[in-house]
Structure 1
Amino acid sequence: MNSIWNNSVSTMSLRAGCVAAAFAAAVFGAVAPASAEDVTIKVLNWQPGGPDYWTALVKAFEAENPGIKVELETVPFDRYPEVQGPYIATKSGPDVMQNNSGLELYDRRSAYMQLPADLVTSAGTDLITYSGGCLNFDLNQACYGLPFGYQGNVMYYNKAVLKEAGLDPASPPKTWDEMDAACKAVSAIGKTCLAHGMTGVFPTYWNFPEVARNYLTEDDMRAVLAGDMPWTDPKMKSILEAMASIGKRGWINSNSPSISMLPDGADIFSSGNAAFASTIIADAVNWQAFGAALGDENVGAMRWPVLVADAPLADRFSGVESAVFGVASWSDKQDAGLKFVKFIAGKTNGDLLTSLGGGIPLNKNVDQSLFPKSAALEQIREIIKSPTLHVGVLLSGQEADALARGWQEVTLDRMTVDEWVARMQVALEESPGKSDE
C-alpha cells in the first residue's frame, strides 16, 4: 500500500540529516572507506520513509556487509513506472528494485529473479506478514521480493480546522451522513473539506479500497484478484457510484481532477487549508509529516466514514505489506542484491524505520520503545489491529489506470457512471491473466 508510497514532498522531511547520521554512527560505528574489491549495487527506489531514513539505512547495511556499497537511484513515486519501464525493456540497469506488493509486482515479475525458498522462509519467520511479494499472495508459489513495513489507508483530520468550523475534534465523522454535515460546516468557513487529487495511481491505492470495503467481502476481493469479479456486478458499480458522489457532494477541492494527491493534495492539508486528507499510515504523507507541518496536537487519524452501516468490512483496515524489494533478473551481482533484500526485512532496518522513517515495521523483533510519541500514531496502531485485504493492490495496471482516468472524467461530467463501468470492464478483459504464474 502504497504505498503509493513516496517522499516527493521536500517540505515534509521527517528528520534532520544529522540526526540520521548520528543514529547510524552510534549504533553501527564508522563505515570503512571503499576498497578496490568493493561491489557496488544500484538500488532503484522511491525512498519511502524519507531521505534521512535512507541515509541511515545505507550506512547500516554497509556496516553489516563490508565489501558491498549501495548506490541509490531515487525517483518520485508517480514517475517510477516511466523510469523503471525502460530498464525492464532493455534488461539492464539497477541490481535491486522496489515495487508495490500485489499485482504491480506480479505484472513486472519477469524483471525479478525468483527468491530462493530458504531466504523467503528464514526472513519470513521474523515478519508479521510477507506474502505480498509472492504470486497470488501465496507463500507456496514463486516469491520475487521481501517487504519491510506495513502499509494501508487512513483518513487524517486537522483538529484545529474542525474546531474552527464548530465541530468536535474529539469526535470526527463516523458515517457518510456525518461526513456530509462536517463538510458543509468546513465549507462555510472557506476551507476545503477533503484535500484530494485524482491523477496517477493514488485513487486506486488510497480511495478505492476505502469505499470498496462497504460493498465487498474478502471472498469478493479474492475474486477481484483472480479476475472473476466483473465490473458490471452491482457491487462493483456501487463502489464507482459512491466514488463519483464525493465530487457531487462538494467534499473535495475543485481542482482535484487535475492534480495529484502527492504532493498537491497533501500540500492543501499540510498547509492548514483542509479538514481531512485520505492518505497512508507510513512514509512521507503520514502522521509524522503532517504533525511536523501542523503540530502534533492538531493531527488525528481515523478510518474512512462508513457508507453501509451493516457491511461486514466497513470498520476494518485496508492493510498490505508496503513496498517490496527484489533482485533484478539481469543483475550480475545477485548475491549482493539478495543480502540487501534480506537486510530490508530484518530487525536493524525495522528499528530504523520505526525511529526515523515514520513507518510501521513488519519485523516482530523491533524495539517497541523506538516508536515516537504521537496521539495520531497511537490511533493508527489501534486501527490496524482489525485488518482486511487491500483490494487496491489486487487491480491490474489496466484497471488502475481506467479507475483514475474514469474518476476524473466522471467528476468533470464528461462521463457517466455506466460508461465508467463499461471502461473498467474493458480494462479487466484486456488485463493479463491475473492468477497466471
Structure 2
Amino acid sequence: MKTTKRFLRTGTMLAAGLAITIGSLGMAQAEDATLTVWDWKSGDPTTAPYYDKVKADFEAAHPGVTVKFVMQPHDQYYTLLGTAIAASKGPDVVLVHGGSQAKERIAALTNLSDKVADIKTRVAGWDEFAGPDGSPYAVPISIQGLAVYYNKELYKKAGLDPEKTPQNWAELKEICAKLKAAGTTCFALGNKEGYGADFFYSSAAANALTSAQQAAWTAGDLKWSSPEIKAIVQAWVDTQKDGWYAEGANSTAKFMDEYQSFERSENANTIGLLSDVAHWKEFDEFLEPENVGVFVMPPVTASVNEKLLMPLAGGIGYGVTKFSPHQDLAIALAKSFADTPAMQIFFEAAGAVPSDTAVDTSKVESPSAKVVLGSLSNGAALLHNNTSTAETEEWHRQSQMLFTGETTVDKAVARLDEVQAQAKKK
C-alpha cells in the first residue's frame, strides 16, 4: 500500500513537473518574436526618448520579444505601406495619420474594438481611426491641429500690437498689408509637395463650415465648387497676388524649409502644427518663448462659431496589420505606445500633445503652449483629415498650378469636383 501511494505521489509530481516544463516551453515559443514597427518618427532625435521608453518597457514585460523600429521616409511612406499591404508581408505594427489615411487602410488593419477597453476612456482621438461602425483600428498617440504662429518682434517693428490677434479675415489682411509695408514677408510658405495648400484650406475652413457642412464634406457631398470651399480656393490665389508669401513657394519644402525660414525671422507668420514638430516647442527654442505668439486663422467668410476654434483631431496612431503572425503581441505593443509614462516623455521631450489625458501638462511655461493646451477642450474639424487621398493629391497639383497661373479657380474646383465624385464611388 505504501509503495502504491509513493508511486502515485511520485507520478503526480512527475506529471506536474512535465506540465510546467511544457507550459514554459509553450510560453517561450509564444513570446519569442521580433515585432517590426514602421513609422516616420522613431529615428528623430527629439522623439528618441519616447521610443526608447516604449521599447525598453515592452521588452522587459515580454521576455524574448524584440521590438524593431524601421523608420521610412515620410514622403514615400504610404506608397511603401501600400506595397507591404499588397504583399501581406512586412510590418506588424504601423503608424498612420488620423482621418482618411487611416480609414482608407482599414481593410488591412486589425479591428481593436474588443482589445482597447482598458485604455479607451483615458485616450482621446479615437474617431479619426475608426471604421464606419465606429470600431477602432489604431491607437491614437497624439492630438494634432493647426495654428498660426507669429513673431512678436516683427509685429512690433511693423507698428502692430503683438498681443492683438486677428478675429476676422479683414483684420488678417490689414496685418499682412502693414507687415509688407514694413518690408516683412507676412507668411512663410512651402508648397513643394502641396502641404502648404493643405494647411491653408484646413485652417481657413475650420470656422467657416457648420458641423453639417463638415459632415457633408467627409461624406463627399459638399463640393469643391460650393460657395464655402470655392471662396477658400479663391483666397489661396488672392493671398499670393497680394504678396503674402516669398517667391518660390512651389519649390520650397514645407518640412522643414518653411519652418526654418520662420525661425530665422524671415517672415512674420507660419501655419504650423500643435504637436511634436513645427510647433510651439520648436519655435520657442529659436525665437524665445516670449517672442512666439499663436492664433487661430480666421475664415475667409464670416465665422460660424462665436469664438474662433482651433482646428484639431486625433493626430497619429499605431495599428496592427492583419497579416502580422503575432497578433496578440502586436496589439499589446500598439497599446503600449499610449502608456502614460511613455506619453509623459513624448510630451516633455518632443512637445507632442498627447492623446493620453492622464499626462501632466500643468508645468509647461511656454505662453504659446498654454494657448494650444487651452484650446483642446473644444475644437473645430480638421478638413484635410477627412479628404480622400485622390482629392488631396489633385488639390496638391491644382494648388501649384493656381500659383503659376496655369489654371483658374473655376477650372481647378471643377476638376476637383470630378475627382471627389470618383472617390465617392469607391
- TM-score > 0.5, shorter chain as reference: yes
Q: TM-score, normalised by structure 2?
A: 0.86
1:20-50 CA distances to partner (integer Å, 9 max, x unpaired)?
xxxxxxxxxxxxxxx9974221111111763
Q: What CA distance in whole angstroms lies between the structure 2 residues aligned with 1:334 and 1:433?
A: 32
Q: Deviation of residue 322 (structure 1)? A: 0.8
Hey, what's the Cα distance between the residues in 1 that align with 2:182 and 2:63? 58
Q: Does 2:76 correspond to 1:79? A: yes
**Aligned-pair CA distance for 1:305:** 3.1
Question: What's the CA shift for 1:70?
Answer: 1.5
Structure 2 distance, partners of 1:244, 1:223, is 25
Indicate if the aligned counterparts of 1:215 and 1:238 stay in contact, CA closer than 8 A: no
| CA–CA separation in structure 1 for the residues paired with 2:55 and 2:306 | 39
Structure 1 distance, partners of 2:61, 2:353, is 23
What is the identity, as a one-letter code, of the residue corresponding to 2:36? K
> 2:120 aligned to 115, 124, 128, which one?
124
RMSD, aligned α-carbons: 2.3
Match of 1:386 in 2: 378
Extract unaligned runs of 5+ from structure 2: 1-27
Q: Is residue 2:33 matched to residue 1:39? A: yes
- What is the letter of the counterpart of residue 374 of structure 1? S
* Separation of aligned partners in 2, 1:379 and 1:336: 38
1:58 Cα deviation from its structure 2 partner: 2.6
**1:217 Cα deviation after fit:** 1.0
Shift of residue 146 of structure 1? 1.2
Contact kept? 1:148, 1:346, Cα under 8 Å: no
**CA contact under 8 A between 1:313 and 1:388: conserved in structure 2?**
no
Instruction: Please tell me whether the aligned partners of residues 146 and 325 of structure 1 are also in contact (alpha carbons under 8 angstroms).
Output: yes
After TM superposition, give the deviation of residue 349 of structure 1 in Å: 2.5
Q: Does residue 194 of structure 1 match 2:194?
A: no
- Alignment partner of 1:360 out of 353, 356, 373: 353
1:98 to 1:231, Cα distance in 2 relative to 1, 3 A: same
Moved more, 310-319 or 376-385: 310-319
Match 1:113 to one of 79, 86, 110:
110
Query: Could you tell me how far 1:207 is from its partner in structure 2?
Result: 2.0
Call closer, same or farther: CA 1:395–1:235 in 2, change over 3 Å.
same
Identity level (%) = 27
1:20-31 to 2 correspondences below 5 Å: none
Distance change >3 Å, CA 114–CA 254, structure 1 → 2: same
Aligned length: 395
Deviations 1:53-78 (A, max 9, x none): 33333333334444332211113423
**CA distance 1:92–1:338, shift in 2 (3 Å):** same
CA deviation after TM superposition for structure 1 residue 314, in Å: 7.0
Q: Kindly provide the CA deviation profile for residues 262-294 of structure 1, in whole angstroms up to 9, marking residues without a partner as x.
A: 111111111221110101100111100111122
- The residue matched to 2:150 in structure 1 has which SS? strand
TM, length-normalised to structure 1: 0.84
2:141 is the counterpart of 1:144:
no
Letter in 2 for 1:260: A
Q: Structure 1: where are the runs of 5+ without partners? A: 1-34
The structure 2 residue matched to 1:338, chosen from 328, 331, 354, is: 331
Q: Deviations over 1:96-124 (max 9, x none)?
A: 11111111112122321222x22233221
